[in-house]
Amino acid sequence: MAISLDGIDLPDLIREGEFDWTGVEGASETTLGGRPVVWESALQAGRPVDLVALEDQGWLTRAQVRALVERAAQPGWTGVLDYEGERMRVRFRNEEPPAVDVRPLIPRPNHADTDYYIGRIRLMEV
């Protein structure tokens, strides 16, 4: 299946931590008598979505990285992520910089748009 973000076709990136978020936020305190008091509420949005390009798969081209960084640099940007048929509206997690955290697969002084990069794209479902 295919992966795309706002019209940018992406390689076979790994979706890391897909089941780490439950959509429930909780807090607890202990009473003076030693009993726990727990509060829970459902979250409407905010699920983190991390897409990872590893050294052995999912390489991003420099051109793809440029397009991602351009979108991440737009305050308030939201777009549609299509991850293997699952569509979700997302934003870049700029509060956890860098939102596009990549490095060249093979470091060189002069990179071409076809050179490959690995790393992480930090998104949040909105």
pLDDT, tens only, 11-46:
999 999 888 888 898 999 999 999 999 999 988 889
pLDDT of amino acid 43: 84
Taking only Cα atoms into account, the Rg of the chain, rounded to an integer number of angstroms, comes to 18
pLDDT, tens only, 68-121:
999 999 999 999 999 999 999 999 999 999 999 999 999 988 889 899 999 999
pLDDT of amino acid 71: 97
φ, ψ (nearest 5 deg) of residue 49: -130, 110
Indicate the number of domains in the chain: 1
37: left (phi over 0), alpha (psi -120 to 50) or beta: beta
Instruction: Supply the range of the domain harboring residue 48.
Output: 3-125
pTM of the model: 0.86
pLDDT of amino acid 7: 92
- DSSP string across 16-75: ETTTS--SEEEEEEE-TTS-EEEEEEE-SS--EEEEEEBTTB-PEEHHHHHHHHHHHTST
